[in-house]
Amino acid sequence: MPNCRSCHHPLQHLFVDLRTSPLSNSYLRPEQLNLGTAYYPLRVFVCEQCLLVQLEQFESPQDIFEEYAYFSSYSSSWLAHAKQYVDTIVPRLSLDHSSFVVEIASNDGYLLQYFNPHSIPILGIEPAKNVAKQAEANGVPTISEFFSLDFAKQLVMERGTADLIIGNNVLAHVPELQDFIAGLKELLSPDGTITLEFPHLLRLMKENQFDTIYHEHFSYLSLLSVTHLFSRYGLTVYDLEEWPTHGGSLRIFAKHAEHATLAVSPHVERILHEEIAYGLQDISTYSSFPQQVKTVKEAVYNFLFQASRENKQIAAYGAPAKGNTLLNYLGVGTDYITYTVDKNPYKQGLFLPGSRIPIFSPAKIQETKPDYIILLPWNLKDEIEQELLYTREWDAKLVVCIPKLEIY
């Protein structure tokens, strides 16, 4: 059995088994369609010691992230979320030209760009070279490197400590959690703050968001498991916010444990109580999740089968990693879904891993006028629904599968 990546306790409790799947961001070029695809077990465990829900590691971060297909700036709602963060964090922490802000997994500069009008020194750390190049083009100084304790030590020697360290949707992507948290501790200035956003395990379980499980997400985080991890490295979560992003996320604010002037907010205790009330401290709570997954699977199968019998054309919108988990778990390909579309030109002309569904530009929907459009990035449902208002001209129906099948 594997050991927990947070506390090294042997993992003995299976959370859910989603069969096998290729890496969710390993999109295929046309010339790769005749080649074999590597599939890996998608089994999730929960640690009885520290309560971290996690996958086994089958590929290194270098194999997964050195070239990445996700560009944050293609979501208008995510850009608005990033700008709102900057507009509030600058006055909250009294950041100015003498401060230093570092974002880990800074993608294409989608967030750090909003610090530029404030003349605050910034630095992005982005391992995907193709994405880091775009960030530089967007005016965001970026180092293409994986964050680690050794890298943090080097950065402190060259640039000094950071007053604010940001990490949005990165903690779940880190296999070496202990080294990563030790690096945060090293880089943080004595009075500094770390803010990390991650999808909340409680929301995943309550709302059946099993499609957010894929190999690039090594960990699925509760506040209980994060506080266990942080406390071992002398870091304290002193505040948090709940956000609807990615189906329900936590934004935590952390400090050095010895930094006594920042009091711990009641919000922290409230979420801990909510997790405990749901049963996240009890291993038996996690055993009910597979039945929730099965219920969605059966409903989506029935919908696809019935629509196919009626000769309805089904297309999809988006090519997110979560969509690939869903399609590969269902075993669905072009036999039911003829194509998908995505605004990201980087993905257009490629094929989804496993299902091998072709990816086109959104103009394809107007050309073919499908009867049903499955919204794979259901977390952007409102944004996409507005973009697809024109499909009402031919009475197209929109479909979401998570947390349950809805056709509207």
What is the residue-averaged pLDDT of the chain?
95
DSSP state of 115: G
Read off the pLDDT band of 216 (50, 70, 90).
confident
Task: Kindly give the residue spans of alpha helices, DSSP state H, lying in 93-190.
Answer: 129-137, 149-159, 177-187
pLDDT number for residue 61:
62
pLDDT-above-90 percentage for the chain: 91
pTM of the entire predicted model: 0.92
Q: Please give the backbone phi and psi of residue 353, each rounded to the nearest 5 degrees, phi first.
A: -65, 135
Torsion of CA 84, 86, 91, 92, to 10 degrees: 80
What is the DSSP secondary-structure string of 179-191? HHHHHHHHHEEEE
Using CA atoms, how far apart are residues 155 and 80, in angstroms rounded to an integer? Answer: 30
Q: What is the mean pLDDT of residues 244-261?
A: 94
pLDDT number for residue 62:
59
Structure tokens at 293: 């997954």
pLDDT number for residue 106:
96
Residue 74 above 90 pLDDT? no
Is it true that domain 62-286 has CATH number 3.40.50.150? yes
pLDDT-above-70 percentage for the chain: 97
Which residues fall within 8 angstroms of residue 264, CB to CB, at 6 or more apart?
236, 237, 238, 239
Torsion of CA 12, 14, 19, 23, to 10 degrees: -80
Interval 375-402: pLDDT, tens: 999 999 999 999 999 999 999 999 999 9
Which residues fall within 8 angstroms of residue 82, CB to CB, at 6 or more apart?
72, 110, 111, 114, 168
Interval 27-70: pLDDT, tens: 999 999 999 989 999 999 999 999 999 998 877 665 656 566 56
User: b vs e for 142-181, b when ≥16 Cβ sit within 10 Å of the residue's Cβ?
Assistant: bbbebbbbebbeebbeeeebbbbbbbbbbbbbbbbbbbbb
pLDDT number for residue 68:
60
Read off the pLDDT band of 260 (50, 70, 90).
confident
Interval 310-362: pLDDT, tens: 999 999 999 999 999 999 999 999 999 999 999 999 999 999 999 999 999 99
**What is the location of CATH 3.40.50.150 in the chain?**
62-286
Task: Tell me: cis bond preceding 403? Omega within 30 of 0 counts.
Answer: yes
**What is the location of CATH 3.40.50.720 in the chain?**
290-407
pLDDT number for residue 70:
62
DSSP state of 3: B
Read off the pLDDT band of 118 (50, 70, 90).
very high
Q: Please give the backbone phi and psi of residue 289, each rounded to the nearest 5 degrees, phi first.
A: -65, -40
Task: Please count the CA atoms within 13 angstroms of the CA of 386 that sit on its side-chain side.
Answer: 6
Closest CA to 213 of 402, 348, 391: 402
Interval 123-180: pLDDT, tens: 999 999 999 999 999 999 999 999 999 999 999 999 999 999 999 999 999 999 999 9
pLDDT number for residue 136:
95
Could you tell me the fold of the domain covering 290-407?
Rossmann fold (3.40.50)
pLDDT number for residue 58:
76
pLDDT number for residue 388:
98
Using CA atoms, how far apart are residues 42 and 214, in angstroms rounded to an integer? Answer: 7
Q: Please give the backbone phi and psi of residue 19, each rounded to the nearest 5 degrees, phi first.
A: 65, -135
Using CA atoms, how far apart are residues 255 and 192, in angstroms rounded to an integer? Answer: 6
Residue 42 to residues 71, 215, 335, 361, 382, Cα–Cα distance (Å): 25, 7, 23, 30, 29
Cα distance from N-terminal residue to C-terminal residue, the chain: 44
Using CA atoms, how far apart are residues 137 and 122, in angstroms rounded to an integer? Answer: 15
Instruction: State how beta strands 340-341 and 314-317 pair.
Output: parallel
